[in-house]
Chains A and B, each alone.
Chain A
Amino acid sequence: MTTGTASKPLLSRINFETLSLVIVDDNQQSLDILVQVISGFGAKKISRCLSAEEAQRAISVGDVDMVVTDARMPAMDGYDLTRWIRREAPEQNRMIPVIVVTGHTPRNEVTKARDCGANFIIAKPITPKTMMDRFLWVAREDRMGIECDNYIGPDRRFRRAGPPPGMEGRRRDDLKGEVGDAQEPNMSQDQIDSIMKPQKVSV
């Protein structure tokens, strides 16, 4: 399993119970699949939405910690929903993690997901391991937010940043998870001063 490395083993505890999640899919069975997986993780507060419009209402009324949405839906699709979240959702929910799930992932779909402001795109069929990997990745990463005329969302230029500490990469050429990990304990202020302070030297 890739959900952890030596520094963040599978024995780490995660608490889904207090998370408020919005899950969106226009297909009832697909929605059930997503909800079953996330409930299995221990989530209790799940808003099940059969349309993007329902999700908009759920996101408008309270704090939400994450949205998982299907990409292809009639009327408003998952990409438009993500764009709406980034631009028009209540302030406290604008930069929440959004994961888009889709059955078919040609390059143009992946680019669309990236450019609408989604954090990740996951290919169906859903597996609990992949979902967990992506949840942990999003929870551990420190991507900056970017706002400009045509984009609001997490920084899209993160491919070369490597995975967050404690995670394995998604691609063969990703950097190792350990790269981002601290290799030794933090320095004390005295140690920092001893390095930073100008030293008296004899000429």
Chain B
Amino acid sequence: MSVVRKFKIRNRLREALFDGTGKRIDEAVADADIALAGLAEACMATVRACIAEMTAGFSAQAADRDTRSPVELYEISLRIIDACAPVEPKALADAARCLCDLLESSMETGVWRWPAVDVHIDALNLLSSNVRLGEAGEPS
């Protein structure tokens, strides 16, 4: 039988974080929001590039989409979610996450549900065409 050892963990993070100095929590979050907004334009460019790649390779108009791997599309969706941090609307990330869910089930069952994939790609295109950038970016 496996022996289980239970021990106390020294919380160095707490000791350093709560020494009574530094920023207020609300200020720290606000500063991080501002810092993140500085990446909004670059991230939006990445999101648009990913959606274009997705549309070219996997939309209804793509000639060879039947021969491609769902893993490829899954990876593109993940890149969109990654880059969405400073980008509005948050629905872009939601749509990409739903596509990941759909693809995961496709990979498990081995059955592509193309109409559902098309809906997600159309939604991503629509949402990205009406996008707002974070505070640091220019609204489109």
Contacts and interface: CB of A to CB of B under 8 A. Distances in A.
Interface of A: 1, 3-4, 10-19, 27, 29-30, 32-33, 36-42, 63, 65-66, 72, 95-97, 103-104, 106, 124-129, 131-132, 135-136, 138-150, 154-155
B100 to A, nearest CB: 4
B9 A3 contact: no
Interface string B85-96: 111001001001
Given A29-B43, A148-B3, A128 B33 contact: yes
Label chain A's interface by main secondary structure: loop
Contacts, number: 184
A10 to B, nearest CB: 4
B56 interface: no
Nearest to A16: B22
Contact of A36 (B26, B38, B84, B100): B38
Contact of A142 (B11, B19, B85): B11
Contacts of B97: 103-104
A12 B25 CA distance: 6
Interface string B39-52: 10011001000000
Contact of A144 (B8, B21, B93): B8
Contacts of B35: 36-37, 39-40
Q: Which of B8, B24, B36, B104 has the most CB of A within 10 A?
A: B36
A33 B104 contact: no
A18 B86 contact: no
A103 B31 contact: no
